[in-house]
Structure 1
Amino acid sequence: MNTKWTEGQLRAICEAGGNVLVSAAAGSGKTAVLIERILRIIKEKTDIDRLLIVTFTSAAAAELRERLYLSLQKELESGALTATQAKRLCRQQTLLSKAYITTIHAFCQNVIKSNSVESGIDASFRIADTGEIAMTRADVMDDVIENWYQKELPDFSRLIEIYGSYRSDQGLVDQIFSLYDFAQSSPEPKLWLKAQKDSFDPSQIGDFSETKWCSDIIRDLYITAESYRENFLRMKDACERHGITEYIAMLEQDIRITENPLRILQECETAHKDPPVKWQDLYQAICSMQFEKAPVMTAKRKAAYNEAGLAVIASVQEERKKIVNKIKDVFLSKMGDSPDAPYEDLKLLKDDMACLIDITLDFAEAYAKRKYEMHILDFNDLEHIAFRTLAVRGEDGVVRKSEVAERYSAYFEEVYIDEYQDTNELQDAILSLVSRNAAENTYANLFLVGDVKQSIYGFRQARPDLFIEKYKNYNRSPNADKLVILNRNFRSRRAVIASVNRVFRKIMTENTCGIPYSEEESLHFGASYYPEGKENYETELYIVRRAKNKREDAPNYEAEITAKIVKDLIDRKYQVYDRAEGTLRDITYRDIVILMRAPSSDKAGETYARSMQKTGIPAYYAEDGGFFANAEVNILLSFLKVIDNPLQDIHFVATLRNIYGFPDHEIAEIKADSLRRQAAEETFYEMCLHYSRNDSLRERLQLFTDRIISLRKISLHIPVSELLWTLMHENHFYEHLREGPLGELHMANINILYARAILYDNSTNKGLFRFLYYFDSLRKRKGDLSEAAAVTEGMNVVRIMSIHKSKGLEFPVVILSETGKSFNKRDVSAPLLKHRLIGLGPTCYQEELKVKYPSVMKFCVARRLEADNKAEEMRILYVAMTRAAEKLIITGSIRTEFEKYQEICKNKCSSVTGEPLEYHVLDANSFLDWLTMCGVSEAEQTYFREEPDAEEENLWHVTKEDAALQRSLPIPQPPMTFYKEEYRKETESTPAKISVSDIKRIADRYESGELIQMGARAVKMAELPDFAYEGPSDLTAAERGTAMHTCLQLIDYGQIRSIDIAAAENYTDELMLRALDAGFLNQNSAAAVHKGLLAGYLCSALAQRIAAADEVIKELPFTQLMELGGSFTAVQGIIDCLIREEDKYTIIDFKTDDRVDAEKYRIQLDCYTESVRKAFGTEPERIVYFLKQNKEVRI
């Protein structure tokens, strides 16, 4: 081998005699190092099947196995080996096929199968798929909940009140599932759950400062107080420079106020190993941060200062007010009104948490029993059964190796773990059990490789702290375990590395991310093979300021800018390096990737793909869970649902139209015929059976209905997969899928559906109904079905993907977009918060007052989750920026002026060092905040773009969602043959189409005595109310109403189940930010929204009822025919909200009138009701909800 290894790489390859942790930065060649170490070992002394090599994915394992084989083959073909050496390498090639190069799940499965007696699992057990597991879990949960209902315990009733909703216990069920799933990453979930139960027993707790909840909040408080002090110092310095004497004394007092709690908190930090500072002292330290009001600056006083001085005064007033409010809102209001608050919360929570955990334990036991009876396992079972097979707990309570584990650890000479930063606690325990350690009088043999800066799988319970703990402890003594740092980057040009280092040296510290971005952890340039070239490889930053009055249906301007950037790179033949050819070449589309944090959020990925395609750029975006969004899949699922139950109109019409080719005008004719026969209540299936008007159409409908009846009979006697195969080929549907440029993709998706049907037939579940239930479960839980890949690596297209999907990949040009989008804060708004180390943070419920509020424990857990989430977002940004090999381009949008935004970010930096303050780093709202705090907008090439105002746009746009909703409501239109000359005069006087607002204006004129006759009937509709709120005076009532309706439309009801008022306020703030980010609201319209009304509504019984509904449709457009004067007029409108609870529908209309008067909306509700009745064949309940009074009225 002629590879020139760096000193660090050689250490990683050769280090022996103990555990080794390799901290391998992005692009540092860790895979090459891993392969070289394995090759040296197997060439010298150890057979490859005596090594355990664990990778993160099956693809990584396969790649590693192939590269090892090719490396061995290259050595054999070199001609430099002796006969003995060649014989040994041939043996290693042969052993590769049975070598333990595997994922953790595959290894666990091997442990279980190889030790069936010890594991208690025989060969008859199989791994169930996601859909089967979802159904089994649901069935078991139904039984468990029913059993608890029968006990009639008051504690269970309280849980329903806390986590349930108006008419459903689904919220409680969701919490039990969530708690059960969260516990599975623990080696012993039941013990962990029981420990959480004990933690809420006040008799088990001494001083609150000794609890995990309090110990974690101390660090947070210390960082915050230190940041406040630094801010006050910076303000004081500015006031002294401008001679603002009125504020100097006040700020000096502010500094003294923050120094006292800093001293107490520092004592707490150092006292944890000894008796800690008492909770009483800590509470007083927090409460001591009380600030005086700022002196009033009269006009006379202000006249003494120039423009710069006045700017400082305004800045100090604004910044100081934010700090004072932050202390009140974040700490004083959350820690309770006395030091006894946490103890009172514990007393209130003890029985609630005991009951919740007991139910979860009951579910765990019943679920395990059911799986055993069905002879199935899930992926969590593989790890837990393997752990139980490898571990035994002694009488002293200590977990030790079982005989099985002793055999494995004696067999494996070395244990390799790739991507160690993404390992969870259970996986770490399993791999420790099969490795060796010095305490067993032998050498330790773990070889761990990873980069904690790239740990981005917190949602899978990854534990980066396991890596960090070893990182800090290894290399402590000459005989200790070894730490090797690989920091030379062989992937990226100098400009990319400089940008990455500039950002992370300033924001990645031990307090913000668990590990400092020191010189050792910084990237060092190693890609010396790059020719310089004439191109500009410096990082570029494009900041887009959104238009003030952007329409919600306006195109994404940032996406358009990105498309122009790509087009410019292609048009000017930007030069990139071709490693295979060793020379520069013109850039192609495949060299470019657009990365986003969450491309599925607000359909950003689709938006960017459309913008590219409009510009003539071939682009591809595959959405996560996109399988269920494919038309061909939904058509076949609709067909199956018709075979199961033909009385489902939407699926029936979809089958009629898409499988059997009935055109829209014939479908309209079928509906019109039912109206003529005064049989509007019939289902579409019944309409087809009774149609008799047109002989040709009647005959085809007869053939169609006969075929449906025949297929329904057949379905009772054949497996679902055979039925699906029949439907796939019905009327040549499968063959037609071949047509078009994506024909192969369509067929591949159908084949995935068919393969899943075969899996279902081989499971314990049978029947079409259960199959459809199985798929609905997958859809709701966003199961593991992925659509077929439409793009191969060689296709010349721009790829749009999430940062998570890009991990492990590299691209010549990376465009990191949507960096101005706010971080997701939903994790901290759930009714029950969970943290692996701190424990649980529940909601308190005072039964007498019917009041929910966040407990002190919930506040502590929420603060830690927020910090952990920010640390993960930071690591995600690191992954994104280090994907770029040659050019990094960043785009982001803001709402404020560029100069003001930069000034805000500068004010979050230290006045002494100029570095961002840790508190503000943790308090950032977006990637762009961090980038601007670090001075990237000054250091890099920055371009500002102003989005045109809405007045300059002439847009007409209907979203796919709107179109789909309109199709879901059948619109009965009389066929063209109805329109004869005798109706001409009537249609001249009667409009063909009116809106609800048109009817409202008619009603206004009717009230004033000016009646508009429409044919022979006057139509009167209640006036829509003004949304009364003291917002910006330049907004009309209609504009204020639109703003409030926009917010109601954006509510994600799945996130507000069992929400308390504090969480509701946080959710409202987040919703407003999302609305602003996405351009649904501008600053004026956002200011017009009454946040208090929104937060109050989220906690209302109606909102909780909506959250628990089986289906929620918001802003549902409809078109309803009304007979006016003997002729038809179409009335168009939008139903605010329609919910389905089992087979019942409810219409909900939102109002903000000052006075509760639902009767005046009766005609409007009648119109809505008629549309719903005809669409769904049922009489809906009607509710008018008055937000100002928090009152619902049934009408």
Structure 2
Amino acid sequence: TDFWREDLPRSKTKSDKDLVQIISMMKGVTHALLSLSGHDPTHWDAVGEVGRQIDDFPLPRLTGSRSTSDHSRQRDDSTMMILREVLPLAALISDRFKRTKRIADASAGFPPVFSAPVQTMRQALARAAGPAARFMETLLLVDQQFQKRRFQLNAIQFSDIEHGALALLDQEEIRADYLEKYQEIYIDEYQDTSSIQDALVRRISDSNLLMVGDIKQSIYRFRYANPSLFAGYEANSCLVFAGQTPPPLGPQESGYLALLNRCFRTRPTIIDFINDFFQSFLTRESGEIDYDESQKLMADQDKWQAYDSQDQGQWPTGVFLDLATSLKGSPDTEGEEGEEKDPDQAPLDSLLPADLTLTATGQEALMAARIIRDLVERGVGYDQIAILLPTNNHCRVYEESLALCGIPVTSRSGRFFPDSLVFRQVEALLSVLDNPRQDIPLLSFMMGPFASDPWTGEELLTLANLEDGSLEASPGKSAKRRLTFHDKFFSLARTTDQALSPKARDLAARIDRWRFLAQELDSSDLLDLVFSECNYHD
């Protein structure tokens, strides 16, 4: 502009001269830096040499509202441009000029990293290497001692299993055996896979792995999930579509990518809203991914057009909002004096016991029963109605409530057994027959009715207090390892010099016999046999 070419060079004021000095100096710096572009380790020190030319940065003061002349406004605009676009470059390559508060504020986040020579940085790294190595050494020693202590207590962490498995699979013979064992490997929710889990999968797979995931649904980073792994596989895969013959993989492609983004259960208007909402803010900077075409949901337009073209008079459409109030057990059941009760609710209430107090979930179940009854009266079949619930406990409450209302129910919640002494005793029996080396089930079994001579608390305390050296170590177990309760029990059964040895031997023989029969009998026949031998029916 004329201001830069003519007005500034002719000006005699100090502010204009300072501005000319900065512009001239940074023009030379820029030309010098352009000649140093490219990957060359010698360029680092050369950039530092260029930066040492900047020994002063005389930035003019802003006149602001104190002057209304065009010249002053143009000088202020030039000064602001230098603050925003030129000063950060100068701050990165030089530490020689004085950083006033105004310059320090404008150059925040741009430290003079290029001002230190390579040799100086190498010396600093060498000085830091010793303390860093000692810290890592201490950390590894602490981890080794912690692991040793855990193993002495016969304790193990899940991470121990992971790292142990990885160490085994690093042995080529073991890895080859597992590579032959699996023809195909399918893994869901891969966005929540940790780095070590990914390494384990890679050890046992070879072009036979199918992973399914959605990086937008990754919620387990606190458990070391690494969603960038799945994102990396996605970025380095060849995109294929249904009905397409997969093309050969390129040199940088590790597999094939199929997008499962078609949503069959949601109307297009909702899909459009979801896409618009997430596209407005979900970017790689804010959420590690760009909400682009590969992430957007797609509605099944054909399905909904066909659905809307049919006569939907007999089918309920839309969204219903029902509040679980004025139901049995609710504080609002009685209503105000003289208020009429809901006539539609009375038939359902009459089916429930008079002394029954419903929980909040039970009240919701009654609300669902009323809606189901209305749907059935409109011609909807029971087999066309589904209720989605968060937990099995909710399912059981709904099953009981709907059954009381005469509504047939099919659920995947499984059979529900009440918490009682009988069920706990049978559960302990089955746990011991499945694996007797479990302390708590074994304790319950020893004190329960399935032991021919139940153990007393004093006998259990005597067994627990036996010194490890007075017992015979289990086959394959190290004598130095601290024995657990089940180890002590089975070791006691093998000894002959302890007062409780015969009792332990008899009970261990009974367990072995029932476990042998469990291989031949089904569960019901085995329990009938156990109950009969123990007179449990009585």
Q: Do the two structures share a fold, i.e. TM-score over 0.5?
A: no
Structure-1-length-normalised TM-score: 0.20
Structure-2-length-normalised TM-score: 0.40
Greater per-residue strand proportion:
1
From the CA coordinates, give the structure whose radius of gyration is larger.
2
Question: Comparing both chains, which one has the higher relative contact order based on Cα–Cα distances under 8 Å and sequence gaps of 6 or more?
Answer: 1
